Amino acid sequence: MSRAAAPPTKITSHSSCMISQDTDIRGDIAFDEGTIVHPKSSILALGGAISFGKNCIIEEGVIIVNRGKDTMKIGDSNHFMVGCRIESPSIGEWNTFQPRSTCSSGVIISDNCTLSAGTTLLHSLSSSASTSESMETLPPCTVIYGSNSDRRVWDGTGQKAGRNLREKHLEYLREIIPKYNRIRPNT
């Protein structure tokens, strides 16, 4: 049985990106300025390309996969924490994917959403579309939480403080990661 050939790897990154040498990156991937990729993460463009916005943080053990033919677009300032698995074809800005959270390919993530630790986000069967082919769009400021992956909408309280904390986190990572990890040369 023959397997389809893997797409050639093409990494495009801004000069201010930090991509650890010990990452599994396959396919056509573009990183915008300030994005940080920790070691032991996997970014796999198995179908179409993956495009990251500015100042994203991708931590250890994260798996981001695009199996579709279209480009997976990931907006600015998203934080992918340890061990999460993401297959959403489109992700807005300022989202947080906490440790071991999972998002399927049937959901589009808008802005300021949070997937809490260990939650799983699947296409909701209660959405107005009845076919499994349609995509569900998660409204802005949605929080997925609890053992049943329940949903609620957040009122945005503390958003400015959260953004300031993430910016400080980026500054810290830019200082500490090169001290303990080999960094890929920018292309």
Residue 93 lies in a domain: yes
What is the C-alpha separation between 99 and 62, in angstroms, rounded? 9
The CATH number of the domain holding residue 74 is 2.160.10.10
Residue 3 lies in a domain: no
Range of the domain at 61: 10-121+135-180
Residue 126 lies in a domain: no
- The full DSSP string for 74-126 is E-TT-EE-TT-EE--SEE-SS-EE-TT-EE-TTEEE-SS-EE-TT-EE---TT
Residue 1 lies in a domain: no
What is the C-alpha separation between 74 and 51, in angstroms, rounded? 6
Question: Is-contact 91 111, C-beta < 8 A?
Answer: no
Residue 40 lies in a domain: yes
Q: For the chain, percent helix, then strand, then coil, each to nearest 5? A: 10, 35, 55
Q: What is the pLDDT of residue 185?
A: 83
Of all residues in the chain, the percent with pLDDT exceeding 70 is 91
Q: What is the pLDDT of residue 129?
A: 46
Q: What is the pTM of this model?
A: 0.90
Query: What is the band of 134 on the pLDDT scale with cuts at 50, 70, 90?
Result: confident
Residue 187 lies in a domain: no
Residue 154 lies in a domain: yes
> For the chain, how many structural domains are there in total?
1
Q: What is the pLDDT of residue 131?
A: 46
Residue 149 lies in a domain: yes
pLDDT in tens, 87-119: 999 999 999 999 999 999 999 999 999 999 999
pLDDT in tens, 25-50: 999 999 999 999 999 999 999 999 99
Q: What is the pLDDT of residue 148?
A: 93
